[in-house]
Amino acid sequence: MNSTTEPRLKRIAVFTSGGDAPGMNACIRAVVRTALYNGLEVYGIRRGYTGMIRGDIVKLESQSVSNIVQRGGTILKSARSDEFRTAEGRKKAYEQLQTFGIEGLVAIGGNGTFTGAEIFYNEYGLPTVGAPGTIDNDLYGTDYTIGFDTAVNTALEAVDKIRDTADSHDRIFFIEVMGRDSGYIAIQSGIGGGAELVMVPEVASSIEEVIETLKGNFSRSKTSSIIIVAEGDEEGGAQEVAHKVKEYVPYADIKVTNLGHIQRGGSPTASDRILGSRLGNAAVEGLLAGRKNVMAGLINNEVVYTPFRDTLIKQKPIHPDLLRLAEILST
């Protein structure tokens, strides 16, 4: 054997970290079965980096991931770990992985997960391939993230139901959806739900613009409105925006609904099950091909591998066509 050839992996581990997302279980299932198909041993790390530090690691077989593809959440559970942010915590995690003979990792999560994996590799050289699991769809290097489609459909179902009561009572509803730094859920659920206005972190939307929109609706005898607000909008969340608007249109019947964590739960859509399966498979195949410190994603329906540093530094803006479409359809 050529001395420069890297030895073939024998044992890998998979974990989920950060916020849960529908489709993570489909991804875990694909990781386990792709690993076994290729003759690898595969382990599951419970509760993300916290479980890595504590050695909460179990061997997984094919039956370990039976009957989970349709389940929301993550069977491996998730947690945020302050201890892993420290050198001492990462040293403990590495020692635990060494105990189990783990030679490569599949990390399913978002920005925080990949930041930890990048630092961990730089310190200990353990190769990691990531799969983008976050409902926010805010990671550079993939058209869609695992859980995004389900979250949009969950939000859209709520918007449809709220519109019924808004129309019945001539009310204005401000609906807050998740998206601290990204307006993808807001823009897609706004277009799909026929919202009169969508407020996202990427584009400045003033209170004056909201008021002008509402007054324009009133002038056309439109008595109810739906305004979607991403939680990270610069004017504040839906509650704060509604409060500001009420000062200018005190005669309006204004209500606020915060969809909150229902957007993270529920059975994943077909799209998220397939996406999770493809990216879980791609992550293992990436490790076998010698890839490290990269995220497996889909761009134009093709698997691509993007360095973690790019997913962390480069922005993924909302496509201008979506913003323009939302504006046109709200008139």
CA 95, distance to chain mean position in Å, is 30
- Contact at 8 Å (CB) between 111 and 295? no
Alpha-carbon distance of 109 to 153, in angstroms, equals: 20
pTM for the whole thing?
0.94
Active site residue 164: no
| Token pair for 6 | 């890297």
Q: What is the pLDDT along the chain (331 residues), one digit of tens a residue?
A: 344 445 689 999 999 999 999 999 999 999 999 999 999 999 999 999 999 999 999 999 999 999 999 999 999 999 889 999 999 999 999 999 999 999 999 999 999 999 999 999 999 999 999 999 999 999 999 999 999 999 999 999 999 999 999 999 999 999 999 999 899 999 999 999 999 999 999 998 889 989 988 888 887 878 889 999 999 999 999 999 999 999 988 888 999 999 999 999 999 999 999 999 999 999 999 999 999 999 999 999 999 999 999 999 999 989 999 999 998 988 7
- The residue from 20, 56, 136, 272 that is catalytic is 136
To the question of domain 149-265 being in CATH 3.40.50.460, the answer is yes
Q: Where are the domains of the chain?
A: 11-147+268-313, 149-265
Alpha-carbon distance of 66 to 302, in angstroms, equals: 27
To the question of domain 11-147+268-313 being in CATH 3.40.50.450, the answer is yes
Alpha-carbon distance of 257 to 125, in angstroms, equals: 46
| Token pair for 211 | 């008021």
Which residues, in sequence order, are CB contacts of 160 under 8 Å at separation 6+? 193
- 11-147+268-313 and 149-265 have identical folds: yes
Which residues, in sequence order, are CB contacts of 3 under 8 Å at separation 6+? none
Which residues, in sequence order, are CB contacts of 36 under 8 Å at separation 6+? 42, 61, 62
Per DSSP, the three-state class of 247 is helix
